[in-house]
């Protein structure tokens, strides 16, 4: 058997961490994710350190913070910047990317579904089939190849199903290659799909009947509830479809005796507000936008192991390399959490995480915002103009009470303000912090 495991990343767009049945959400049934959470490693406090598509994806692949690689939605991943695929290929992994990319960079007048992902980005992978960005969950356009071998076509079916079919075809080939061949190269595969991103549509069989439970921080305002009702059932249907496809992946791995030497990482680029605090989509530091699923399942089944460590977007690549037994390169900034798989305690686990929104195309705050989340349950966010949010998540997990201008908490605000500045200095982020006087 190979010494190094195969790795598969599976992630959707806007799947918030609360939206799984193993997290107590009664609106959705996710039996395959639930099983992975029980058998493997479930990090229940994982974060999207920038809850916007492009910046998260740049940080995911490079383990650098968004201001260093892809600061805004539509920013291109810089030429020559190494990624996790670079490192894995140097260590004899076969690498394959399937699905949404969203790192090609904006070109005026060229729709996202027509943008050609630059060759320098695709050539970092042994195989790359995908698209930059679109909201077409049926008839999704994809592209591959270079020069005279470049081609583009439309998937004949629902995006998640079709891209999963591609992955299953490749798993079968890799399985046949690895059976009885101890010298076969391990593989690293990425399945990146648009759902459960809006428009919230899914194959009909995944829609559930009955009333939807609304989170307590969704205000009872007609336009908010009306808009939510247009999205919510489709959103959960998309999650259930994604879970079903995850089950197909696990079954195919078992069919080809790959399940004991393959780790599946399931996560998302960020969550979705879905009406909480009268907001929709992402790009804000509220819980519904920043908390993501993070489950590792596959080889060496465990009794349930859940952890509340603050795994951030920059930590996913180093953690993956840690499982592969590969040294973390110096350009990566994240923390390697792979040690959680074999033991309960890790030294020097980060006690806080940095969140960033660099502004630009997101338009939430044109000059961006920064935030800190701590393991003991505090969150503090600022804009360049003023402190913005302060929550004690132990007391108000739904963030119904903003404490940022409550005098009783000024000392805590000052402490978190200083800790946030230290994090910014550590990663050379020159964001202009607001002045506070107490």
- Are residues 245 and 161 in contact, defined by beta-carbon separation less than 8 angstroms? yes
Does an H or E element contain 173, and which?
helix 159-178
Q: Which residues contact 149 (CB under 8 A, 6 or more apart)?
A: none
The CA distance from 214 to 220, in Å, is: 10
Q: How far is CA 410 from the centre of its chain?
A: 33
Cα within 13 Å of Cα(362), Cβ side: 27
Structure tokens, 194: 């648009």
pLDDT in tens, 260-286: 899 999 999 999 999 999 999 899 999
Determine which of 74-83, 335-344, 381-390 has the lowest per-residue pLDDT on average: 335-344
Alpha helices in 210-306 (DSSP H): 222-255, 287-290
- Are residues 433 and 417 in contact, defined by beta-carbon separation less than 8 angstroms? yes
Domains defined along the chain, listed by start? 6-350 (3.40.720.10), 367-426 (no CATH)
pLDDT at residue 106 in the model? 77
pLDDT in tens, 216-227: 999 999 999 999
Q: Strands 369-374 and 378-382: what pairing?
A: antiparallel
**pLDDT band (50, 70, 90) for residue 93:** very high
Residue 408 has pLDDT above 60, yes or no: yes
End-to-end CA distance of the chain: 61
The CA distance from 416 to 293, in Å, is: 26
pLDDT in tens, 42-80: 999 999 999 999 999 999 999 999 999 998 888 899 999
- Are residues 41 and 307 in contact, defined by beta-carbon separation less than 8 angstroms? yes
pLDDT in tens, 146-202: 989 999 999 999 999 999 999 999 999 998 888 878 778 999 999 999 999 988 899
């Amino acid at each position: 058997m190979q010494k190094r495991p195969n790795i598969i990343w599976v992630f959707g767009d806007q799947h918030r961490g609360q939206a799984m049945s193993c997290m107590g959400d009664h609106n959705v049934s996710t039996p395959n994710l639930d099983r992975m959470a029980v058998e493997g490693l479930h990090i229940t406090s994982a974060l999207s350190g920038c809850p916007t598509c492009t910046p998260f994806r740049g940080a995911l692949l490079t383990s650098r913070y968004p201001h260093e690689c892809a600061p805004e939605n539509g920013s291109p991943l810089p030429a020559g910047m190494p990624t996790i695929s670079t490192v894995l290929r140097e260590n004899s992994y076969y690498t394959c990317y399937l699905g949404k990319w969203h790192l090609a960079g904006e070109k005026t007048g060229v729709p996202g579904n027509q943008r050609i992902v630059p060759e320098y980005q695709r050539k970092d992978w042994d195989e790359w089939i995908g698209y930059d960005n679109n909201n077409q969950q049926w008839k999704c356009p994809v592209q591959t190849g270079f020069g005279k071998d470049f081609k583009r076509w439309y998937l004949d079916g629902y995006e998640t199903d079709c891209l999963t079919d591609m992955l299953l075809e490749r798993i079968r080939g890799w399985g046949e290659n690895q059976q009885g061949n101890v010298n076969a190269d391990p593989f690293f595969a990425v399945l990146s799909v648009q759902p459960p991103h809006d428009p919230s549509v899914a194959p009909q069989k995944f829609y559930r009947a009955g009333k939807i439970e609304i989170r307590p921080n969704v205000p009872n305002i007609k336009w908010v509830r009306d808009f939510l009702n247009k999205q919510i059932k489709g959103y959960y249907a998309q999650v259930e479809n994604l879970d079903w496809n995850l089950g197909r992946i696990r079954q195919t791995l078992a069919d080809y005796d790959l399940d004991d030497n393959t780790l599946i990482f399931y996560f998302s680029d960020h969550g979705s507000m879905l009406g909480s605090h009268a907001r929709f989509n992402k790009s804000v530091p509220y819980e519904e936008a920043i908390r993501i699923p993070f489950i590792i399942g596959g080889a060496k089944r465990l009794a349930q192991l859940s952890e509340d460590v603050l795994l951030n977007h920059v930590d996913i690549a180093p953690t993956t390399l840690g499982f592969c037994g590969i040294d973390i390169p110096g350009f990566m900034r994240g923390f390697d959490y792979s040690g959680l798989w074999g033991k309960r305690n890790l030294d020097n686990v980060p006690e806080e995480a940095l969140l960033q929104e660099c502004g630009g195309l997101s338009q939430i705050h044109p000059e961006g915002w920064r935030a800190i989340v701590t393991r003991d349950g505090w969150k503090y966010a600022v804009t360049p103009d003023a402190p913005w949010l302060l929550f004690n998540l132990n007391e108000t997990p739904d963030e119904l009470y903003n404490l940022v201008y409550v005098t009783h908490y000024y000392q805590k605000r000052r402490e978190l303000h200083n800790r946030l500045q230290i994090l910014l200095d550590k990663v050379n982020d020159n964001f202009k912090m607001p002045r506070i006087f107490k």
